[in-house]
Structure 1
Amino acid sequence: MAMKFLFYVSFFLGISTVSFAQQSSVSLDSCIRWAKLNYPLYKQNELYKAQSNVNLKAIQEAWLPKLNFNLQAVYQSEVVQFNIPGFNTNFPHDSYLGALSVEQTVFDGGMSRNQKEIEKISAEIEIQKNEVELYKLVDKVNQLYMGILLAKESIKMFELLQDNLNKRSVNVAVAVSNGMVLANALDEIEVELLIAQQNTIEAKENLNAMYENLSMVTGKKIDQSVELLLVPAGGNQMFMSVMRPENTLFIMQEKLLDERYQLAFNYALPKITVGANGNYGRPGPNFINQNLRFFGSANIGLKWNVSTLYGLNREKQKFDLSKKMIEIQRENLNRNIETTVITFTSQIAALDQMMKLDATILEKKTAISAIAASQFENGKITSTVYLLQLNDELSARMKMKMHEIKRLNAWSNYNATMGLINF
C-alpha cells in the first residue's frame, strides 16, 4: 500500500539535488541567483568585457598620427649629363636620404565611431548569449528545490504510516491473543511496516542526493538543517509583459545590424588626411643643389573610393533580410511562451480550486480511517480493508501537501517562462 505514496512523489523525484552554511532558511530566488554566480560560464562575462576594452583601445589608436622613418642610400650607374654652355654641373652617382613622415586622419567618415559601437555591441551580445544559456539554470534549480520539498513530505508520510502501523500492531497483537482477529492480520501489518521502512530509506537517500546536487549548483551548503521557503521564484503576481533574456539578445542583434550598415555607408565616404615630411640628404627637390641638407613638405589629401557606393543598396538588402530572420525568431519564442503560459495559468487556477477542497477531504478521510481502525481491532473488518482506509487517509494528506508544492512549482515555471525572475 505504501507504494501508492511513491507515485505522488515520483513525478518530482526523478531529478538530481543540493548546503548552506549558518543560514536557517533560503528561498528559491536566492538559490537561483547563487547558481548563476557559481556557474563557470558566468565568469566568462568579465573576459568578454576585458577583451572588448583591448579592442576599443586598438580602434582608438587609429586616430594617432602615423609616423614613418626611412633611411636610404643609392648608387646609380648613370646620371643626367647636361651639355649647356655656361652650365657646368656634375651630378654624383650616389644619393642619400633620411626621411621622417607624419600623417594624421582628420575625417574618416565616422568609421571609427561605428567600429567602436560595433565592438561594444558585439561584446554585449556575447555576454547576453551567456545570459540566455545561464537562464536554463532556473529550471534546473527549480526542479531540485521542488524535488526536495516533495521528498521531505513523502518521508513525513512514510514515518506517519510507520507510527500508525506500530500503534496498530500492538492493539492487533492483543486482539489476536484474545481470538478476536486472525493471526495473519498481524503479519499483514508487519509486512506493510517493513515496506514503509524500505520506502523511507529510499526517500531519504534521494533527498540526500538532491541536497548534495543543490549545494553543488549553488556553491552553498544546503542541507536538512536549512528550511526551504514555500515562496515561488519571482512572486505570485501575473504580468503579461515578456522579459526573457532572448528578447534582449534580439534587440542587441538588430542594433548591431544597424551599426554594420552604417559602417558600410561611412566606408563609402571620402577620407581626409593631412601630413608632413622632414628629410635630410641629397638630392632634394632642387636637384641642382647636390649638398647634403634639410628639406621638407606638407600635404593635405582626400581619398574617395567611389566604386564602394555601388554595393550600398545590396548591403541594405542583406541587413534587412537578417532583421527579418531575427523577427521570425522573436515571433517563434513568443509563440512558444504563449502556449506554455496557458498551461501554467490553467494549472494554477485548477490547483487553487483543488486546494479549497483538500482540508474537507482530509477531515473526512481521517474520520473514516479512525472508524476502520476501531472496526479492525474488534474483528469486524479484515486487515486489507483497514489498510486501504489508512492508505486513503495518508494519500489525502500527501495530496494536500503535493497540491501546495505543485502550485508553487506552477508559479515558478510561469515566472521563469515570462522572464520575470530576478536573474
Structure 2
Amino acid sequence: MKRILLFLVILTAFPAIAQQSITLEECYNSVTQNYPLAKQSSLLETQNTLEAAVISTAKLPQLSLDAQATYQSDVIEIPIASANIDPLNKDQYRATFSVNQLIYNGGATAASLAIKSAELKSKQKQVEVSLYQLRQQINQLYFSILLAQESNLLLKSKQTQLEAKLKEVSSGVKNGILLPSSDKVLEAELLKIGQQFKEIESNKLTLIETLSSLIKQPIDASTEFKNSLIKIHVQKELIRPELELFQYKKDEIENSENLISKQNVPKLLGFATGGYGNPGLNMLDNSFQPFYIAGVKLHWNVFDWNANQKQRQSLAINKDIVDNETEVFKLNTTIELNKQQREIEKIEAIITSDEAIINLRKEVLQMADSQLKNGVITSSAYITELTNLYEDQNTLVRHEIQLQLAKANYNVIKG
C-alpha cells in the first residue's frame, strides 16, 4: 500500500518538475494568436457587420414624420363674388407620415455590400501581414537563446574537463611531480568559468523575457528551446501574405468600379404619404381634414459631366499602382532570397572548415594533456590549448546556429 501511495505522489508531482520545452513553430503560432494586433481581426469583422447592416437598410421601407405650421401674407382667393366660398386661412397646419420603399436601384446596394466585404478581407490580411513580419524578429530572439543554451552546454563540458584535470594536477603537486602553483592556475580558470556562466545566463534571461513579451506566453529560464533541423522550403513561387493582400486590394478596386457603374442606373421607388392638416388636398375646403398620396417615382441621373468615367479612370490607375507594388515586392523579395542563399552557402563552407580546425585542436590538446602529466608544460599552457579548443567549438556552435537562423529567415522571406 505504501508503494502505491509513493507511486501516486511521484506521478502527481512529475508534471510539475517536468522540464518545459518550446519550438520555433510554437512561437510563430503564439505570436499569431496572442500578439495585441491579432485582436484587430475580430474587431474589424464586428465593425464590418455593423457597416453592412447600415447599407442593407436601403432595402427596408424608409419612414419619416413631418409637421409644420405656417403663416403667409396672402392666400388664393376665388374672384367670383357669387361663389360664396370662404377664403383660406393665412395660418395653415400640416402633419404627414411618409413611407418610401426602394424597388430597384440596379444592384447598387449589393455592390456596396461587396465593397465592404472586400475591404474587410484587405484589412484582415493587412493584420496578417503585420503579424507575419514579426517572424524574423522571433527568429533572431529564438536562435540567440538557442546559442546561449548551446554555449552553456559547451562551457559545462569545459568545466567538467577542468575539474577532472584539477584532481590530477593536485595529486601531481602533492607527489612533487608538478610545480606547486599548477593547481592554482586551474582553480583560477574555474572561477572565470563561473563568471562566464553568470554572463550567459543573464543574457539568456534577457532574451527569454523579450521573446515571452512578444509571443505573450510565459517562459522561464529552465525552458528547453528545441534545436530542430531547419529545412529550406523548395517551392518555386513566393507564398507571402503580402501577395494575397495585393490581390485583395485589386478586388476592392474592381468592386468599386462595379458600384460606380451602377450610380447612373435609373432608380425606382414606391411611396405613400398620409397626413392631417388645414387645408388638406382640397384647397377649397378651409378646415382640418385627413389626406393621403401613393405612387411610384423614377429617378435617373441622365448626365453627370463625365464624372463617372473619370472615377473609373482613377480606379484603373489605382489598379496599375497595385500591380506595380506587387512587382516591386517580388523583385525585392527575390533579391533578399538570393542574399540569404549566398549567406547559407558561405556558412556551410565555414562550418566544414570549423570541423577540420576542431579535429586538429583535439590532437593538440591530447599532446598537451600528456605533456602536463609528465611536467613538460605548465598548467597555463594546458589551459591555453583547452581554451583554444573550447573557443573553436563555440565558434562551430555559433556558425551552426547562424546557419539555422539563415535557413529560418530564408523560409520566412519565401513564405
Residue of 179, 198, 221 corresponding to 2:195? 198
Which residue in 2 is equivalent to 1:169?
166
Q: Which residue of 2 aligns with 1:139?
A: 136
Alignment of 1:53 with 2:88, yes or no, is no
5 Å-filtered alignment, 1:312-391, equals: 312-351=308-347, 362-383=358-379, 385-391=381-387
Give a deviation string over 1:57-85, Cα, whole Å, max 9, x none. Answer: 11111222122223344455544333437
| Aligned-pair CA distance for 1:300 | 2.0
Contact map agreement 2:232 2:410 (CA 8 A) in 1: no
The reply to whether residue 37 of structure 1 matches residue 7 of structure 2 is: no
TM-score, with structure 1 as normaliser = 0.83
Which residue of 191, 212, 219 corresponds with 2:216? 219
What is the aligned-residue RMSD (CA, Å)?
Answer: 3.0
- Distance 1:322-1:86 versus aligned 2 partners, 3 A rule: same
User: Helix, strand or coil for the counterpart of 1:307?
Assistant: coil
Match of 2:272? Answer: 276
Structure-2 change in CA distance of 1:342 and 1:77 (3 Å): closer
Deviations along 1:121-142, whole A, 9 cap, x unmatched?
A: 2233222222222223212222
Deviates more, 1:68-77 or 1:357-366: 357-366
CA contact (8 A) 2:151 2:397 kept: no
CA contact (8 A) 1:36 1:137 kept: no
- Spell out the pairing of 1:124-135 with structure 2 (5 A cutoff): 124-135=121-132
| Aligned pair partner of 1:120 in 117, 121, 142 | 117
| Residues 1:109 and 2:127 aligned together | no
**SS of residue matched to 2:220:** coil
Give the conservation status (yes or no) of the 8 Å contact 1:26–1:229: yes
CA 1:193 to 1:79, structure 2 compared with 1: closer, same or farther past 3 Å? Answer: closer
1:150 aligns with 2:147: yes
**What is the identity percentage for the equivalent residue pairs of Structure 1 and Structure 2?**
29
Mapped to 1, the partners of 2:152 and 2:88 lie a distance apart of 106
Q: Which runs of 5+ in 1 are unaligned?
A: 1-19
Number of residues paired by the alignment? Answer: 399
Which of 86, 89, 92 is the equivalent residue of 2:88? 92
> Equivalent residue for 2:8?
none
- Greater length-normalized contact order (CA 8 Å, ≥ 6 residues apart): 1
Q: CA deviation at 1:259?
A: 1.9
C-alpha change, 1:83 and 1:360, in structure 2 (3 Å) is closer
- Deviation of 1:368 after TM superposition, in Å, equals 2.8
Q: Residue type matched to 1:333 in 2?
A: F
Residue type at the aligned position of 2:133: K
How far apart, in 2, do the equivalents of 1:163 and 1:123 lie? 60
- Shift of residue 416, structure 1, vs aligned partner: 0.9
Distance 1:403 1:74, change over 3 A: closer
C-alpha contact 1:232 1:412 (8 A) present in aligned 2: no
Question: Following TM superposition, by how much is the alpha carbon of 1:281 offset from its aligned partner in structure 2, in angstroms?
Answer: 3.3
Name the SS for the 1:308 alignment partner: coil
How far apart, in 2, do the equivalents of 1:399 and 1:269 lie?
A: 73
Distance 1:77 1:142, change over 3 A: closer
State the partner residue of 2:4.
Answer: none
- Once the two structures are superposed, residues 166-216 of structure 1 have per-residue CA deviations (whole angstroms, 9 ceiling, x without a partner) of 333343445556666555655544443332222121111112222233333
Map Cα deviations across residues 84-118 of structure 1 (whole Å, 9 max, x no partner).
37532223315443322211122223322222222
**Equivalents in 2 of 1:295, 1:68: separation in Å?**
16
Give the TM-score normalised by the residue count of structure 2. 0.84
Q: Specify the SS of the correspondent of 2:218.
A: coil
Name the SS for the 2:268 alignment partner: strand
